[in-house]
Amino acid sequence: MPRPLRLVLAVLALSLAAACGSSNEAPSSHTLSENGVMHKPGLTTPLVNCVACHGSTLQGGEGPSCTSCHGVKW
């Protein structure tokens, strides 16, 4: 694999990992851990409970895009 392509893939992988966040980055209201990533209670109904920070389509807003970790499932 050419070196520039490896570099692009490495940067992409790191960006996706950072988008998923960690418990140190989440607001204090995010008290539920799902696979090591903190979520706010009500995560099973994200279009009701998460849009204020993650955007009306959960594609990101003040908070990161939910689809970067969960895929497009809502």
Could you list the mean pLDDT of each consecutive 10-residue stretch along the chain, which spans 74 residues? 72 53 71 90 92 92 88 73
Q: What is the predicted pLDDT for the residue at 1?
A: 66
Q: What is the predicted pLDDT for the residue at 2?
A: 74
Q: What is the predicted pLDDT for the residue at 10?
A: 67
Q: What is the predicted pLDDT for the residue at 74?
A: 60
Q: How many CB atoms lie within 10 A of CB 51?
A: 15
- Region at 58 (left for phi over 0; alpha for psi -120 to 50; beta for the rest): left
Q: Where are the domains of the chain?
A: 3-70
Q: What is the predicted pLDDT for the residue at 11?
A: 64
pTM of the predicted model as reported, rounded to 2 decimal places: 0.59
H or E segment to which residue 68 belongs: helix 67-70
Q: What is the predicted pLDDT for the residue at 67?
A: 87
